[in-house]
Chain A
Amino acid sequence: MAGNDTKGIGKVIFSSSLGTLIEWYDFYIFGMLAKTIAVQFFPEGNETAALLSTLAIFAAGFLVRPFGALVFGRLGDMIGRKSTFLLTLVLMGGSTFLIGLVPGYRAIGIAAPLLVLLLRLIQGLALGGEYGGAATYVAEHAPTNRRGYYTSWIQTTATLGLFVALGVIMAVKSNMSDESFNAEWGGWRYPFWISILLVGVSIYIRLKMSESPMYSKLKKEGKTSVNPLKESFGHKGNFKMVLLALFGAVMGQGVIWYTGQFYAQSFLENTVKIEFMQNREILLWGIGLATPFFLVFGALSDKFGRKWIMLSGMLLGVVFYRPIFNTFLKDTDAKEWMANAQNVEGAGSEFKLVKTDSSFNKDKQAITIAHKKRTLVYKGTSFSEIVADTSMVGSDGSSIIKNGKPVYLDKQLSSPLKWKFIGLVFVMILFVTMAYAPIAAFLVELFPTKIRYTSMSLPYHIGNGVFGGLVPFIATLLSTSFASDPLVGLWYPIGVAALCFVIGAFYLTNKIDKNIND
């Protein structure tokens, strides 16, 4: 179908994108339900379970994804794109469904976290193989002059997968109590079970597709690679392009992607303290409004080249991340609101006792912590003020009372403020669409058909999984070391994106490779 023929391209895009979207959905729901999963499978106080939990979080993203890229990339270059990305879909769907069936730790003990870890690792492996296959498959069907546009459909899937995962979890959660949702066989399992239906449909559709025309031609001529790993990373000519792809494009794209879609969400929830459901609503709107721009920037990259669109997304992130995140903090600074208490509705009201915790310390003093709460409103934004007062009574009857510092959380933003935040999240996802939309076409054009799947998969998953996935870890590391600056965690994505921008600006070419059939 190469050349300028677009017949049947819609089917190709639909079958590829649907499967990739479902794989992202499967991968995300585990992360989004991590707290509930931890309670069910990795109970606190059990060191083995804690170790398995850490492995499930870190190994799946950092180790197994790049490994999956190598395993399935090699397969895809040796036996074909279609069979390989069908296999990744089966593995991902199967492991996701099975996670939803594993009994909790209380029922089967240590076997539960072991099984979940194993299935999570299979998920990471499958994800590592999926993207390269789908992007290559679409690109090898796409007409030369619209490769950026057609492959940008694949680029929407990571964001839409997040959108669907958020939507499904919110829909399930809003139809039951927290208790029912978090129970051993509760609602948290439904998103995992739903996956099997989605995967079933996608497998059926993909089975009907034929092999990529470029790969078929190569196979017919007996020119497929015998050892794609050696040819990709053992030959200097190709290896230097793999390095250029990683350090000049994908590394920066990975941190921009992660910061816009995930770090923003966790920052709004854990630092800004926006209420759970409203935080998701803000993200859903931001994603929903920005997603069409993947297609816009994909199409523009066909006209103006890939390089400067990708690099502009990175540069905008570098320049605007700190002002945007600072606005999130300033606009919800409850301490400042309380400094002018006459403007706060309910500032004179009494606290209500929520709960008390009692224990004895090592000096045999009876300790009672009284958690008190009141609800306040500032210019239409409601929030909770929580105070935990501690009283200590010794055996001799002496007592000490310490008044806790107020903590402000569960912020429910007023409508104008909510839309302002949606606008800011939208802008950050717009940066994502710029940096991410042209990347599939860019990578495909960099490597020859016979080793394309292998060569593009590894840098993509190192950039996305490792550099992007490290954002929360490094942010915590920086916040611990420089506690006075709540925005210090942003220096990691800003630094990586800036470095990538410099490398990309100097080393990459903006020229579009018209002939990828080589």
Chain B
Amino acid sequence: MNQLKRIMGFLWMIIAPVVVFLLVIGAVKNIGAGTHDINKPVPWVIIIGIFTPIAIGLMIFGYYSLKGEYDRLPESSDEL
């Protein structure tokens, strides 16, 4: 199981930049192409702005998984 967690860590590290890349592509394609919210720049700036640190968080999560940080979860707060 721990081996699997570590392998999946690599997957999470890849997913994170892919999501941000897809959002940027979505923004470029949709801004100015109509009259919906998805065609306005402001929502995209806010969403990409908030999603980028979340994606970085997912990368860090993947990195920690890869390094085996989640092999054993702490049982009390003293272990944090």
B80 touches A62 (CB 8 A): no
A460 CB to nearest B CB, Å: 14
B7 CB to nearest A CB, Å: 10
Say yes or no: is A181 at the interface (Cβ < 8 Å to chain B): no
A55 touches B64 (CB 8 A): no
B43 touches A54 (CB 8 A): yes
Instruction: Please pick, from B5, B46, B69, the residue contacting A506 in the complex, using a CB distance under 8 A.
Output: B5
Chain A contact residues, majority secondary structure: helix
A473 touches B47 (CB 8 A): yes
Which of chain B's residues 54-68 have a Cβ closer than 8 Å to chain A?
54, 57-58, 60-61, 64-65
**What is the bound-complex CA distance between A448 and B78, given in angstroms?**
8
A506 touches B1 (CB 8 A): yes
Indicate the size class of the contact surface on chain A.
35 or more
A59 touches B46 (CB 8 A): yes
Q: Which residues of B contact A509 (CB under 8 A)?
A: 73
A480 touches B38 (CB 8 A): yes
Given A470-B47, A506-B8, CB of A448 within 8 Å of CB of B80? yes
- Residue with the greatest number of chain B CB neighbours at <10 A, chosen from A58, A237, A239, A466: A58
A246 touches B57 (CB 8 A): yes
Say yes or no: is A168 at the interface (Cβ < 8 Å to chain B): no
Chain B residue with Cβ nearest A452:
B77
B34 touches A62 (CB 8 A): no
A507 touches B40 (CB 8 A): no
Q: Which residues of B contact A466 (CB under 8 A)?
A: 50-51, 54
**What is the bound-complex CA distance between A199 and B26, given in angstroms?**
42
B5 touches A507 (CB 8 A): yes
A235 touches B42 (CB 8 A): no
Instruction: Please pick, from A63, A246, A477, the residue contacting B46 in the complex, using a CB distance under 8 A.
Output: A63
B79 touches A237 (CB 8 A): yes
Q: Which residues of B contact A470 (CB under 8 A)?
A: 47
Q: Which residues of A contact B79 (CB under 8 A)?
A: 237
B55 CB to nearest A CB, Å: 11
**What is the bound-complex CA distance between A480 and B1, given in angstroms?**
41
A244 CB to nearest B CB, Å: 7
Say yes or no: is A240 at the interface (Cβ < 8 Å to chain B): yes
Q: Which residues of A contact B8 (CB under 8 A)?
A: 502-503, 506
Q: Which residues of A contact B49 (CB under 8 A)?
A: 63
Using A57-B37, A57-B43 as known contacts, list a sample of 17 further A-B pairs with CB atoms less than 8 Å apart, ordered by residue number in A.
A54-B37, A54-B43, A55-B42, A62-B46, A63-B50, A240-B64, A244-B73, A448-B77, A449-B77, A466-B50, A470-B47, A473-B37, A473-B47, A476-B36, A476-B38, A480-B36, A511-B75
B contact residues vs A (CB 8 Å cutoff):
1, 4-5, 8, 12, 15, 26, 30, 34, 36-38, 40, 42-43, 46-47, 49-51, 54, 57-58, 60-61, 64-65, 69-70, 73-80
Q: Name 21 A/B residue pairs within 8 A (Cβ), A-sorted.
A: A62-B47, A63-B49, A235-B80, A236-B69, A237-B74, A237-B79, A239-B60, A240-B64, A240-B70, A243-B57, A246-B57, A247-B12, A447-B77, A448-B77, A466-B50, A476-B37, A499-B15, A506-B1, A508-B73, A509-B73, A518-B78
